[in-house]
Amino acid sequence: MLKQSEQFALALHFYLTKIFSEHMLAGLQDATFEFGARTIVRDATWHIQPNEHIGLIGYNGTGKSTLLKLLVGEYQPSAGTVERSRTTTIGYLHQDLLSFDTKDSILSVAMGAFEKIFELEKEIDELGKEIERENLSDLGGERAELLLHQYTDKLHEMEVLGGYNIEHKTKEILQGLGFSPADLERPFHEFSGGWRMRVLLAKMILQKPDLLLLDEPTNHLDLPSIEWLERYLQNYDGSVVIVSHDKFFLDRMVTKIVEVYQQSLHFYLGNYSFYEREKQQRIELQQRAYENQQEYIRQQERFIERFRAKASKAAAAQSAMKKLDKLDRIENAELERPSLRINFRVDKTPGKILVTLKHVSKHFGDIEIVKDASAEIDRGDKIALIGANGKGKSTLLRMIAGAEKFSGERIWGYNVDESFYAQHQLEALNLNHTVLEEMQLCGSQKNDLELRILLGCFLFSGDDVEKRIKVLSGGEKARLALAKTIVSKANFLLLDEPTNHLDMHSCELLIGALNKYEGSYILVSHDRYFISKTANKIWEIDDHQIREFKGSYAEWVDWKERREAERDVNNNSNKKDKNKKQENNNTAPPQPSLETQSIKQPTAAAPVNTPINKELKKELQKQQRLFQQAEEKVNALKKRLSELENKLSSPEIYSDKNKFLQAESDYQKTNDELSKVNLEYEKLFEKIMDLEQGGDFRG
């Protein structure tokens, strides 16, 4: 017989499940899915609600793409259910779409999103022809009225669906994804895999499904296209689930993280940065709870061992044994992930200048890549070469490596030993070798154990190293070629999209290795997080020249934004001056005297002594009071958090499950409240800074 409180909790659970399931678009309910003997998820429940932006993350091989296939019905769970609303429309972007091919133009392929509108167009044409065929004056009033009503209704429906500007919409989205106006009429089959994926992404966006499932959408995009996609999806009227290893993209795009970890789904209500902080806190809290409970168990076991044989204490020992049997065991919170480290070795030190490019030019037919450009790479340079697709980043990398013909001069420095990683390096792999054999023959002087450890960093674990290269996927071959580059002992690396086939953890390992690397490198990457952590110089191909910025990616972005803001201000100022001049010309007398012409009007320079804006000062004082209150709240919550941590660190609390759960709940609530207050604190600080910049409060 259930207690009254348990009956209420059960009823509440069913009620909430019913409420959420009525509104959800799709989801899993107690779902278990297995590949042979390997379990992907067990008893997983996940409801996707309208207007959610979700990041689906996890280590490689944990089943992120499998979960998306479960949601669209490509796979069926072995237990539980996959639930979808009858009216939910789903768009699913994934790598298997690359098998699609056609001779139609990319504009036609993308406009395939508007099937309903094209059907409506046909209906309108047929109705128009029917009206033309019949002499409406000879028809009966009812028949004529019915046809005209149908025709008007269809025209109205076309207007509501936005059918009159579908071509404009399609062109706008294709151009946002990096296609030039000239590309739009080119056949789909002429484009490479990455560009084809952009066309299919454009088609999916134009369909406006209720739920967009995007599996690594940034893999085939350059930086401007990624930024365009971010702006578009931020205002997307629907739900989006994104699988991505691009941390910057996830931070800007999602407000919820679902992590596949230890065959379960773990939920975090924030972006990726919030997830990283929150997960660390959860792990630390669970680990402390685990260690304290283990200490409590050891104490009880020592008590039982000591007194179980004594008649006077036997009952107490028996009671302690029963308590231990009923104890809910807390799991060890140690992370299940490779704790490997990638280390580069450099054989020799090069001269101060590694490569000099003098007056280099390169073009493909009418397409100019660089023209009379010059640049220099020095020892210690860690350069990120960035820009839109089609600007020639990979071409310039090949020119530096000597793998591409060009006019001009490339001067190689003293003692430079280079290693070049790019997609074409995959062709140099011996298909009959195993993964391990290929690594053994690249002259690294590492033993098999060291090579296996290194390959583990690139997601080749266990028996994977014995696979023949001919059976590897494109992504696996790319990771192997990258591993060969890493192990080469070169002092100058050229890396073309090195993170494309790595998961987040492997990217972090590569970042750590590149930061410790004593040599120099130049890399091409669309992963902004990776660039921000690895580059000390930025190169950009602009107007067929190589523009160099000495600084990090964050500094470059800041500089770029300031330049654009200044340009906008100047443009607006020029427009105002032009309009004012036009107004003066229109209102001036027909023949102004020479005296009038020579009078200079005062310029709009800032006055030397600007009076203090009283309203602004009042607002500043108000924000400063709020800031002080927020600071006091932060200090109080930190004190409370410290008290709860001390409480949770006491072994005695784990003997009482209710006390432990209450303390844990209090800790979580206090921690959540502290995060909110900290956010408010930061916003107030920024507001005060803005107000101080907006007025002169020195006096």
CA atoms within 13 A on the CB side of 80: 20
Residue of 280, 223, 285 lying closest to 252 (CA atoms): 223
For position 115, what pLDDT does the model report? 87
CB atoms near residue 289 (< 10 Å)? 21
Longest CA–CA separation in the chain, Å: 124
Instruction: Please compute the mean of the pLDDT values over residues 477-498 and round it to a whole number.
Output: 85
Give the pLDDT confidence score for residue 257 in this predicted structure. 95
- Span 292-300, mean pLDDT? 87
Output the pLDDT for position 131. 72
Say what the pLDDT of residue 87 is. Answer: 86
Q: Which residues of 526-539 are buried (b: 16+ CB within 10 A; e: fewer)?
A: bbbbbbbbbbebbb
- Give the pLDDT score at 2: 47
Q: Tell me what pLDDT residue 354 has.
A: 94
Tokens for 35?
């590949």
- What's the pLDDT at 334? 65
Higher pLDDT: 151 or 649? It is 151
Q: What is the DSSP string of 9-42?
A: HHHHHHHHHHHHHHH-SEEEEEEEEEETTEEEEE
Q: Locate 648 and state its tokens.
A: 């949770």
Q: What is the pLDDT of residue 508?
A: 85
Of 489, 507, 505, the C-alpha closest to 497 is: 507
Q: Work out the angle between the directed axes of helices 272-307 and 614-648 (0-180°, nearest 10).
A: 20
Whether the per-residue pLDDT at 6 is higher than 80: the answer is: no
Predicted confidence at residue 38, as pLDDT, reads 81
Among 164, 187, 173, 162, CA closest to 108: 187
Main-chain dihedrals φ then ψ at residue 483, nearest 5 degrees: -60, -40
Q: What is the pLDDT of residue 583?
A: 58
112-143, pLDDT tens digit by residue? 988 888 888 888 888 887 777 665 455 555 66
Q: Which two tokens stand for residue 234?
A: 């931020």
Mean pLDDT of 668-693: 76
Burial of 543 (0-12, 13-18, 19+ CB in 10 A): exposed
pLDDT tens digits, one per residue of 400-415: 998 889 999 999 999 9
Within 13 Å and on the Cβ side, how many CA atoms surround 314? Answer: 4
In the block, residue with structure tokens 């989205």: 173
- The pLDDT value given to residue 61: 73
Residue 254: its pLDDT value, please?
93
Tokens standing for 604? 């709009």
Top pLDDT among 332 and 270 is at 270
> Is there a contact between 115 and 207 (Cβ–Cβ < 8 Å)?
no
pLDDT at 631: 80
Residue 657 has what pLDDT? 62
Mean of pLDDT values over 305-317: 78
Cross-strand bridge partners of residue 502: none
Q: Mean pLDDT over residues 658-683, rounded?
A: 78
pLDDT band at 47 (very low <50, low <70, confident <90, very high): very high
Q: Are the beta carbons of 307 and 317 closer than 8 angstroms?
A: yes
**Tell me, what DSSP letter sits at residue 221?**
-
Which pLDDT band, with edges at 50, 70 and 90, does 290 fall under?
confident
- Dihedral pair phi/psi, residue 278, rounded to 5°: -65, -40
Beta bridge partners of 260: 265
Among 539, 544, 524, CA closest to 408: 544
- Looking at residue 607, its pLDDT comes to 39
| In the predicted structure, residue 242 carries a pLDDT above the cut 70 | yes
Decide if 185 contacts 170 (C-beta within 8 A). Answer: no
Contacting residues for 548 by C-beta, under 8 A, at least 6 apart = 375, 537, 538, 539
What average pLDDT does the segment 340-367 reach?
84
Could you tell me if 422 and 483 are in contact, meaning their C-beta atoms sit under 8 angstroms apart?
A: no
Residue 432 CB-density burial (10 A; 0-12 exposed, 13-18 middle, 19+ buried): exposed
Residue 699: predicted pLDDT: 40
Average pLDDT, the chain: 81
More confident residue, 4 or 58: 58
Contacting residues for 405 by C-beta, under 8 A, at least 6 apart = none
Q: Is the pLDDT of residue 218 over 90?
A: no
3 state SS of 125: helix
- The Cα 96–Cα 299 span in angstroms is 57
Mean pLDDT, range 15-21, rounded to an integer? 50
pTM listed for this prediction: 0.66
Asked whether residue 555 carries a pLDDT value surpassing 90, the answer given is yes
What residues pair up with 26 in beta bridges, in sequence order?
Answer: 48, 84
Lowest-pLDDT range, 353-367, 449-463, 526-540? 449-463
**Of 244, 248, 270, whose CA–CA distance to 257 is shortest?**
270
Is residue 332's pLDDT more than 70? yes
Is a pLDDT exceeding 60 seen at residue 594?
Answer: no
Over 90: is that where the pLDDT of 355 sits?
Answer: yes
Reduced to 3 states, what is the DSSP secondary structure of residue 651?
helix
Token code pair at residue 474: 């494109």
pLDDT of 188 over the 70 cut: yes
Per-residue pLDDT band for 345 (boundaries 50, 70, 90) equals: confident
Phi-psi region of 257 (alpha: psi -120 to 50; beta: other; left: phi over 0): beta
Segment 506-527 shows an average pLDDT of 88
Confidence of residue 148 (pLDDT cuts 50, 70, 90): confident
Q: Which tokens go with 372?
A: 């009379």
What pLDDT, on a 0 to 100 scale, did the predictor assign at position 610? 42
Q: Give the pLDDT confidence score for residue 595 in this predicted structure.
A: 35
Q: For residue 592, is pLDDT > 70?
A: no
Neighbours of 693 (CB within 10 A): 8
Contact in structure between 466 and 433 (CB atoms under 8 Å): no
Higher local confidence (pLDDT), 654 or 507: 507
- What percentage of the chain reaches a pLDDT higher than 70? 82
Q: Which two tokens stand for residue 484?
A: 């060969």
Nearest to 370 by CA among 338, 412, 330, 399: 399
How far apart (Å, rounded) are the C-alpha atoms in residues 569 and 571? 5
pLDDT, mean of residues 438-446: 80
Mean pLDDT of 635-660: 72
Using alpha carbons, select from 540, 478, 551 the residue that is nearest to residue 510.
478
Sorting pLDDT into bands at 50, 70 and 90, what band is 382?
very high
Quick one: pLDDT at residue 423?
67
Lowest-confidence pick of 67-71, 264-268, 599-603:
599-603
Cα 60 to Cα 458: distance, rounded to the nearest angstrom = 10
Q: Which residues pair with 83 in a beta bridge?
A: 27
Instruction: Write out 475-538 in H/E/C secondary structure.
Output: HHHHHHHHHHHHCCCCCEEEEECCCCCCCHHHHHHHHHHHHHCCCEEEEECCCHHHHHHHCCEE
Q: How confident is the model at residue 606 (pLDDT cuts 50, 70, 90)?
A: very low
**Cβ atoms of residues 438 and 484 within 8 Å:** yes
